[in-house]
A = this chain, B = another copy of it.
Amino acid sequence: MATTPPTRSPELRKDPVTNQWVIFSPARAKRPSDFKSKSPENPNNNSSSCPFCIGNEHQCAPEIFRVPPDPNWKLRVIENLYPALSRKLDHPNGQNDDSSSELSGLGWVVAGFGFHDVVIETPVHSVQLSDLDPSEIGDVLIAYKRRIEQIKQFDSIKYIQVFKNHGASAGASMSHSHSQMLSLPIVPPSVSTRLNSMKEHFNRTGKCSLCQVQSKDLLINETSRFFSIAPYASSFPFEIWIIPRDHSSHFDELDNKKAVDLGGLLKLILKKMALQLNNPPFNFMIHTSPVQVTDSELPYSHWFLQIIPQLTGVGGFELGSGCYINPVFPDDAAKILRELNVP
């Protein structure tokens, strides 16, 4: 992070989308550490023992679908063998949030009904998502969409979180390229916060906060249908958002053409991140709208994809306050990534 000008004063910023405060503090980047840097990750490169490799399908939890539907698949959507939520519990259809029962004084409880799926993005152990063609990445995105469309049929599912963990420090336990989809019987807190914040912006300005982002300083790359930025109040150094240019409330409004376009931009951004930041562990998350959304919510709710390279850990301050400390200003990060040439 020697790239950050050392002279900028610290600043607190709050994002109109996430409603989160972030402390920008270039001085923090210079502090020394008593602890040795992280040892290189030692993933399992033995594809015979990897359940996600082609040929090892029998080692996996049941398949939901594969693309194409023959033995020579290019991607598979399967059940998670160690699911956080259970598809076997009773799920009172049509239940709403208020049905959660309160235990006297202790808190609220809801049965852990839900779906937890794994998307195996490639049959080959050594291939990473960014190695795929734009249209193959598009196929992965369309697989998310297809699975969302299946799950939407369950009235008791309120929100579907799509996410990817790449590398051990990003939380991954499997090294074979994959992502996950966790379908929840509640709308999670950061989604409610985001929707409330975007609503507040809309009521005040008459505009959707993501349609309105038009800062040249924060722009990284754009295509005809999507653009990528370092967000104004990035919680993490080199955090990146990819946003559909046209207003769209739900990720599953994506069509095949847009999926290829997004696939190309995602590939470029992941390549740039790997090049600039030395192949960092990373997470990406799709931020969409709750499954059931009223018409009045549609004008201010705009989906996007968030990418977070894992460069710094967090500590007690972040755990306690919910604020992050970011040593890199987003316009510096955007400039570096914008000007980077991918060979």
Interface residues, chain A, with chain B CB atoms under 8 Å away: 9-16, 19-21, 23-25, 27-28, 30-36, 39, 41-44, 50, 81-86, 89, 100, 103, 105-112, 114, 159, 161, 163-165, 168-176, 180, 182, 184-186, 188-191, 193, 205, 207, 209, 212-215, 232-233, 283-287, 306, 308, 313-317, 319-323, 325
Contacts and interface: CB of A to CB of B under 8 A. Distances in A.
A12 B185 contact: yes
B313 A21 contact: no
B315 A165 contact: yes
Contacts of A173: 31-35
Given A35-B42, A105-B207, A189-B323, 16 more contacts: A9-B86, A9-B111, A14-B100, A14-B107, A14-B109, A21-B186, A23-B84, A27-B84, A31-B173, A34-B50, A34-B174, A35-B172, A106-B215, A106-B232, A170-B316, A306-B320
A158 to B, nearest CB: 11
Contact of A188 (B13, B111, B316, B321): B321
Nearest to A81: B31
Contacts of A286: 320
Contact of A13 (B13, B20, B85, B108): B108
A342 B225 CA distance: 62
A25 B85 contact: yes
Given A84-B10, A109-B12, A319-B283, A189 B35 contact: no
Given A110-B11, A321-B191, A84 B161 contact: no
List the 3 shortest-distance A-B pairs measured between CB atoms, nearest first. Answer: A171-B315, A10-B112, A163-B316
Residue among A27, A83, A174 with the most chain B CB within 10 A?
Answer: A27
Residue among A15, A100, A180, A285 with the most chain B CB within 10 A?
Answer: A285
Contacts of A320: 161, 163, 190, 283, 285-287, 306
Nearest to A16: B107
A35 B176 CA distance: 11
Q: How many copies does the complex hold?
A: 2
Contacts of A176: 34
Contact of A24 (B13, B112, B190, B321): B112
B319 A27 contact: no
A315 to B, nearest CB: 3
Nearest to A36: B42
Contact of A82 (B30, B191, B284): B30
B109 A13 contact: yes
A232 B314 CA distance: 24
Given A44-B34, A316-B171, A322-B189, A13 B212 contact: no
Contacts of A34: 43-44, 50, 172-176
Contacts of A323: 184, 188-189
Contacts of A169: 313
Residue among A12, A168, A174, A215 with the most chain B CB within 10 A?
Answer: A12
30 contacts: A9-B89, A9-B112, A10-B114, A11-B112, A12-B110, A14-B107, A14-B108, A16-B107, A27-B83, A31-B173, A34-B174, A34-B176, A35-B42, A35-B168, A84-B317, A105-B213, A105-B214, A161-B317, A163-B316, A164-B316, A169-B313, A180-B316, A188-B321, A188-B323, A189-B322, A191-B321, A283-B315, A283-B320, A285-B319, A308-B319
